[in-house]
Amino acid sequence: MAVGIFDSGLGGLTVYDAVSASLPDVPIVYYGDNLHAPYGVRDAQDVFELTDKAVKHLWENGCNLVILACNTASAAALRRMQEAGVPRGKRVLGVFVPLIEALTERQWGDNSPPREVSVKNVALFATPATVASRAFQRELAFRAIGVDVEAQACGGVVDAIEDGDMILAEALVRSHVDALTRKMPNADAAILGCTHYPLMEPIFQAALGDSVKVYSQANLVAASLVDYLKRHPEMIGEGTESQFLTTGNVATVSNNATQFLRRRIEFTAA
């Protein structure tokens, strides 16, 4: 009865934490491709191949449903995987959906024409690969009109967080916010388009100011998943144990994950 969560590194642990709190009785298999992190600086073909391999591994480990808790993978690989065909009884979902549901205040299944929404100016903070894909803007355009999106590629932030250098991560966040606000000084909302960024949410909020509503992914994804599984209980797979899998160095990843979540996390080799 397991659900899979995939990320290129440790950022997806923010989603894992929120999902496990919302679904305490559902085993979760977390797969971190730490060996190849970060994905945000890789090309689309590379991201697709790495993501496809990881998702198939999770399907083989008893997870019928896999959440791509990685915006870069969601942007560069999800649509291509779905177009190539997903095996019967399996499903892979990305993390853009809950964000856009919240931003546009409409359900994903609502296929009515795009309409105006209350938010007009949106600041998007994401990895270089996610920004380059324009996937967020494309999905938003299907549902809303009159929304201006200014994207900032936040180079270096993921690396600093993965290395545990939060002082550097904070300095980089403030620098990236400053760069974006020079381009869009009157943002209504800000999207933290990387699952690493919730750890830095207070810094983003402080740098942006209280007038900007910050949308972070972890809790939105968890709430959306709870709703989805109520409607599709058959998508909970046959796995019975929670696991943390990594392609990286087990000891190093376990120690970094423990620091990341502030409780002991033990990874095993994928």
Kindly report, residue by residue over 209-248, the tens digit of the pLDDT: 999 999 988 989 998 899 888 888 888 878 788 999 999 9
Rounded to whole angstroms, the Cα distance separating 204 from 209 reads 8
Mark whether 154 is an active-site residue: no
pLDDT higher than threshold 80 for residue 35: yes
Q: What is the pLDDT averaged over residues 163-174?
A: 94
pLDDT (0 to 100) of residue 1: 59
pLDDT in tens, 95-151: 888 888 888 887 756 778 888 999 999 999 999 989 999 989 988 988 899 999 999
> Which DSSP state fits 41?
G
Whether 238 and 2 have beta carbons less than 8 Å apart is answered as: yes
pLDDT higher than threshold 90 for residue 172: yes
Specify burial of residue 189 (Cβ count, 10 A radius: 0-12, 13-18, 19+): buried
pLDDT (0 to 100) of residue 109: 62
**What are the residues whose beta carbons fall under 8 Å from the beta carbon of 235, sequence distance 6 or more?**
64, 65, 91, 228, 229
pLDDT higher than threshold 70 for residue 260: yes
pLDDT (0 to 100) of residue 142: 85
Q: What is the pLDDT averaged over residues 153-173?
A: 93
Mark whether 63 is an active-site residue: no
pLDDT higher than threshold 90 for residue 188: yes
Write down the catalytic residue from 5, 194, 214, 218: 194
Write down the catalytic residue from 47, 70, 158, 221: 70
pTM: 0.88
Task: Show the domains of the chain with their CATH numbers.
Answer: 2-96+218-269 (3.40.50.1860), 98-216 (3.40.50.1860)
pLDDT (0 to 100) of residue 164: 83
Mean pLDDT in the chain? 92
pLDDT (0 to 100) of residue 80: 93
